[in-house]
Amino acid sequence: MMIKENFLHYLWQNKLFPTHNLQSTDGETVEIIDIGRRNSDAGADFFNAKIKIGGEMWAGCVEIHLKSSDWLRHKHQHDEAYHSVILHVVQEADTDIFRPTGEKIPQLVLPISQEMLEKYETLLDKKEKIRCAEDFSEIPDIFIHSWLNTLLLERLQRKTEHIAALLEHNRNDWEEAFYAVLLRNFGFGLNSEPFERLAHSLPQAYLQKHKNSLLQIEAMFFGQAGLLPEEESDEYAEKLKREYAFLKSKFGLQPLENAGWKLLRLRPVNFPHVRMAQFSALVHQSSKLFSKIIEKPDYDYICKLFSAEPSEYWETHYTFRHASPPRSKNLGKTAIDTLIINTIVPFLFFYGQRNGNEALQENTLKLLEKIPPEHNHIIEEWAEIGIKAKSAFDTQALIELHKNYCERKDCLRCRIGHKVLTRK
């Protein structure tokens, strides 16, 4: 198996190589005092390193490559950012390298122990997505939980980047940004894009002006979405059409063109019409929704808010076409949980972070602990190797681990991978 450069980085960063009797390619003694700090920006791989070479103390950067000639291939000899490199660490020294002053840069062929090499190959060579499956039983629970905590924070941090951009776009209007993300997530994957376009075409300020009339809220949503029937329809649809005509001209609204609503392969309860009716009820029954949630980030309270009752018409309809047997169209518990996980939690967490409100951040994490574990193929894979999630807190962390580490074969950045590689 070919070693990858990130393995050399990993070994250097964790000092996982024999450090005694090191010699440069020119035969000088190399004593590592400080490996330096990982640089995630442009420039050499590690900075602030301290290394004694030939008995003389050097302070500066360390660059790592598989081969010495990679230095030339990457044109570092012409790049000022690499002029302070004091040691070039490689797996194979196939050429000498020089500073622009003509001075030779010391090189070290990193010694890799056979044991470490075998562990690396065994872990990375496996075909399964969760390559460390066999090792999991030997890793203490407390260690796994601490890693899951970190992963959850990483996941939230990533999600909040999108919110930050949206917030800037909305001139720091939290309610408007929350409305846009929440409405997008009412598309539950398949219809997320048209719902997002709908949010952009219909500012919530217009909805707020008519929040006391559920009929008018629905008229704006269905009209903007292009879902009102064109042909003569039942009385309720006709009423919505009349209301929409009035509101469209009042606000100068431009309905979506080719919105791309998807109904195929969806269960009728997930049809966009039903979701729109549920969202309309939510707008009708609670204004300043995000502020309300900030004031009381309590699971039962949020569930109650989101259980708003859609208009009577939807009790017997899934679309405008045909009547159906009566059935409540309130948002179900699983749907509410999904909205809490994907919208409310990232928003609350980010709001807490922006405002230095640690209590809110903690409460947000507790909210996840109240939600039962999600069900999907990733969580099933973890369950198969004995990792049973207790709540959405665990499932979100396990999804993060799977998607951003296991699927990318990034075991060297994973704490479990580190544990497996360094276990005696």
CA distance 197 to 189: 14
In whole angstroms, what is the distance from residue 25 CA to residue 96 CA?
9
Shortest reach from residue 130's CB to ligand SF4, in Å:
5
The one-character DSSP state at 258 is S
Minimum separation from the CB atom of position 381 to ligand SF4 (A): 10
How far apart, in whole angstroms, are the C-alpha atoms of residue 410 and residue 404? 8
Residue 15 CB, nearest approach to ligand SF4 (Å) = 20
Give whichever of 86 and 130 is closer to ligand SF4, judged by the CB atom: 130
- Closer residue to ligand SF4 (CB): 144 or 156: 144
Residue 118: strand, helix, or coil: helix
Helix, strand or coil for residue 260?
coil
- Cβ nearer to ligand SF4, comparing 46 with 120: 120
Give Cβ neighbours of residue 250 (< 8 Å, ≥ 6 apart): none
Tell me how far, at minimum, the Cβ of 418 lies from ligand SF4, in Å.
8
> Judged by CB, which is closer to ligand SF4: 222, or 405?
405
Using the Cα atoms of residue 262, residue 268, residue 273 and residue 275 in order, give the sign of their dihedral.
negative
Nearer to ligand SF4, 152 or 283 (CB): 152
Residue nearer to ligand SF4 on the CB measure, 85 or 406: 406
Report the nearest approach of ligand SF4 to the CB of residue 129 (Å): 7
- Minimum separation from the CB atom of position 375 to ligand SF4 (A): 20
Q: In the structure encoding, which two tokens stand for residue 236, read together?
A: 């309720």
Quickly count: other Cβ atoms within 10 Å of residue 98's Cβ: 12
Closer by beta carbon to ligand SF4, 81 or else 139: 139
* Interaction site with ligand SF4 (CB under 6 A): 130-132, 401, 405-406, 410-411, 414, 416-417
Distance CA 77, CA 62 (A): 14
What does the alpha-carbon distance between residue 259 and residue 228 come to, in Å, rounded to a whole number?
Answer: 13
Closest approach of Cβ 376 to ligand SF4, in Å?
A: 17
Measured between alpha carbons, how far is 93 from 254 in angstroms, rounded to an integer? Answer: 65
